[in-house]
Structure 1
Amino acid sequence: MAQADPAALMAALQAEGRRRFGQLLTGIEAYRKHPFTRRLEPAPVLWDEGTTKLRDYRSQGPSGAQSAGDPRRPRVLVIPSLVNRFYVLDLDEQASFLRWLDAHGFDPFVVDWDGPGYLERSFSLTDYIAGRLEGALDAVMREPGGPIHLVGYCMGGNLALGLALRRQADIAGLVCLATPWDFHAENAPHAIMMGQIGRQLEPVLQILGELPVDMLQAFFSGLDPFQVLKKFQYFGHLDQASDSARRFVALEDWLNDGISLAAPVARECLGGWYGENSPQNLKWMVDDKIVDPASLDRPVLNVIPSADRIVPPGSSRALSRRFRKVEEMVPNAGHIGMMVGRSAAREVWEPAAAWMRR
């Protein structure tokens, strides 16, 4: 077998690198020039405290006014992650979990966190769960309607679990969507590294009082370093007038519109969740009480997307093993696609709604 010419091999690698880099630049430039702007108005605010708002996605029209408060319509309190804006659940007319719930017999409400203000910079997860989320749940309870379900997405699932354990008598069930629990389940070295980075960022946390969103995005991009290259290469080849291109831009704009974390929360999540795996080890505490899923005496639906790169399936599956009354659902989707993908309604929304009706 003839040996490869090192010079020719190097030249080929350089050419391929330039080609891929060119595709990356083409995709980024196309994204920057795309005319799409999200114009979907968010639902009105029902309750607020500090920078936290509760948005009311019940129909605002005459037919909605007749159905809102119907005891046959379950109320749904949706809790997103603290680091991402809620509107991924209301992305556009064709991809809005919240509006879909309203159209299919539910009264949906969603927590809109916004970034930490003066008060929230000192907040821990206990302050968010035992303070803001309990306030939001109280506001939902004051509205007429059927039984209340909590739905938590990603980190919001952990927050929803913390709330459910405190307010079991007030809820009918809990739905966890791509919720992490065992942070060392499939890539322990990476999780431990995140914990170490969190400790090294202590001077930043002390000076700013928060972990800037740009640093958070760097952490998440480290989960799949080639994802940025691949997604913009893909976008550069799309018909820029297509629905697929508009959906890409909508999602990318949402990803770039993240939320900073209050310093105490950053310490709990990076050092505790990732570094020490405190949830799985039953060392994560809210208001001085261990967050133990086995203590929840309410039915749970745990939705584990099979292609999730942000929350590995093994991390969520460990949560299922802790619950006493749990059903698992494993859609063929990724972390974000499970809620906004073309098959999200069929794969996730409809089965989750059917489960809540039961």
Structure 2
Amino acid sequence: MLQRETAACDARRRAALAGLAAYQAAPRVARAPAGREIARCGRVSVRDHGGAAASGRPVLLVPSLINAPFILDLSPGRSLVAWLAARGLRAMLVDWGTPDPAERDEDISAHVADRLVPLIDAVTQDAGAEPLLVGYCLGGTMAIAAAALRPVAALALIAAPWHYSGFGEPARAQIGRLWAQTQPVCDALGLVPMEVLQACFWQLDPARTIAKYERFATLDPDDAAAHDFVVLEDWANGGAPLTYGAGAQMFEQFFAADTPGRGAWQVAGTPVDPHAIDIPTIEFVARNDRIVPAASALGRGEVRPLDAGHVGMVVGQRARDQLWAPLADWLSGIALAR
């Protein structure tokens, strides 16, 4: 990919490689889990970030299965979950944990029925009230399915794909080719390594992938911008693998067949029909999203388009004004009304 994108300019190739080397050599600070664990279902847990200062209905944030959950708790000043907690909301974050090859057959549907739903039950019992679900990326898709299986107070979606045909035929075909190449190895492992998923994301916007390392090569490693880049890239390049079943369902049923968008997805025998879920719903859609195109959004309830990208809408410089504050206001209004 690097060779293809910089074929006309050796200087760009050298700059991108220098940026990559600088990123690899950058110092890191070990992360410690924040919040208090209040529920667990096998490897999957929920941590309460609101603590004693929060009251009222719990707000359960559901991150994507892909990448680590700490994109919603990235760093001081760039943490959606911490900011919601500071606003007095009892914010909780799901951590999907690290799967074992023995769990190879646990697909996305099973993650919803056998992991997320029991955690919703536990949170409901602990708080004495049904939670408000906030789902990001694939976590939003899964939150929709969970809301079809269990009563929840409200549903907020952030860059959540539903109509996978909205990714466009060229992107879907490219993703399909990548899966065809890697499926035998993933099948043998019982897992879909993060490297496979990250390669898929790179192919969605290869020019941007190269350009960001070119830019990083020009930064002073002691600057805040360089530190922020490293933290964000570590999130993007890290994370636990998917179970083989989750990867196969995502690539074969979601991307290739658009099972959710066609109304053909069932979880634990229950059809997942978002339009039959009669609860307050809001959807934040990023117009400049190259990972989850705006055209793939559900398009139900109150839809708020943002001039942002897939990650920038959550942790970018304008995230607080564009997403955090409107989301907190909406959640607070629902929590007080119900």
Structure 2 counterpart SS, 1:247: helix
The residue number in structure 1 matching 2:296 is 315
For the residues of structure 1 that align with 2:37 and 2:67, how far apart are their CA atoms?
18
Please name the residue that 2:213 is paired with.
232
The match for 1:248 among 229, 241, 255 is 229
Residue-pair matches, total: 328
Q: Identify if the C-alpha distance between structure 1 residues 29 and 118 changes in structure 2 by more than 3 Å, giving closer, same or farther.
A: closer
Higher alpha-carbon deviation: 197-206 or 241-250: 197-206
User: What does residue 135 of structure 2 align with?
Assistant: 152
The aligned residue for residue 215 of structure 1 is 196
Is 1:108 the equivalent of 2:91?
yes
- In the alignment, is the contact (CA less than 8 A) between 2:285 and 2:294 conserved in 1? yes
- In 2, the alpha carbon distance for the partners of 1:119 and 1:141 equals 30
Shift, 1:207, TM fit: 1.4
Matched, 1:339 2:318: no
Q: Secondary structure at the match of 1:258?
A: coil
CA contact (8 A) 2:60 2:132 kept: yes
State the one-letter code of the partner of 1:100: W
Aligned to 1:62: none
Distance change in 2, residues 1:341/1:145 (3 Å) = farther
CA distance in 1, matches of 2:130, 2:84: 14
2:105 to 111, 122, 139: 122
AA at the equivalent of 2:97 = D
Aligned letter for 1:33?
A
Pairwise CA distance, 1:196: 4.9
Amino acid at match of 1:340: V
Is 1:45 the equivalent of 2:26?
Answer: no
Could you tell me whether the CA contact under 8 Å between 1:45 and 1:54 is conserved in 2? yes
Q: Name stretches of at least 5 consecutive residues in structure 2 with no aligned partner.
A: 1-5, 334-338
> 2-side partners of 1:311 and 1:284: how far apart?
19
Give the whole-Å Cα distance in 2 for the aligned partners of 1:281 and 1:196.
22
* 1:25 lines up with 2:8 in the alignment: no
| Deviation per residue, 1:121-162 (Å, 9 max, x gap) | 221222211111112112211223665210000000011000
- Which residue pairs with 1:131 in the alignment? 114
In the superposition, relative to structure 1, how do residues 40 and 237 fare at CA in structure 2: closer, same or farther (>3 Å)? farther
* RMSD between superposed Cα atoms in Å: 1.9
TM-score by length of 2: 0.91
Note closer, same or farther for the CA distance 1:27–1:205 as it changes in structure 2 (3 Å cut).
Answer: closer
| SS in structure 1 of the partner of residue 279 of structure 2 | coil
Alignment of 1:143-222 (within 5 A): 143-144=126-127, 148-168=131-151, 171-199=152-180, 201-222=182-203
- Aligned equivalents of 2:178, 2:232: Cα separation in 1: 28
Paired with 1:286 and 1:292, the residues of 2 have a C-alpha distance of 11
1:352 aligned to which of 327, 333, 336: 327
Deviation at 1:347? 0.7
1:38 and 1:250 in contact (8 A); partners too: no
1:56 CA drift (Å): 1.5
Give the share of equivalent positions with the same residue, in percent: 34
In the alignment, which residue of structure 2 is the partner of 1:299? 280
Gap change, CA 1:167 and 1:240, over 3 Å in 2: same
Cα drift, residue 39 of structure 1: 4.0
Q: Tell me, in whole angstroms, the C-alpha distance in 1 between the residues paired with 2:193 and 2:25.
A: 26
**Aligned counterparts of 1:275 and 1:195: Cα–Cα separation in 2:** 7
Q: Is residue 2:32 matched to residue 1:57? A: no
TM-score (normalizing by structure 1): 0.86
Contact residue 50 and residue 117 of structure 1 kept, 8 A: no
Partner Cα separation in structure 2 for residue 26 and residue 90 of structure 1: 29
Structural mapping, 1:264-303, within 5 Å: 264-303=245-284
- CA–CA distance in structure 2, aligned partners of residues 155 and 186 of structure 1: 14
Distance change in 2, residues 1:243/1:95 (3 Å): same
Separation in 2, partners of 1:35, 1:261: 27
Match of 1:86 among 56, 69, 72: 69
Q: What is the DSSP-based 3-state SS (H/G/I as helix, E as strand, rest coil) of the residue aligned with 2:156? A: strand
Give the whole-Å Cα distance in 2 for the aligned partners of 1:330 and 1:74. Answer: 26
Alpha-carbon contact 1:79-1:111 (below 8 Å) kept: yes
Distance 1:233 1:196 in 2: 28
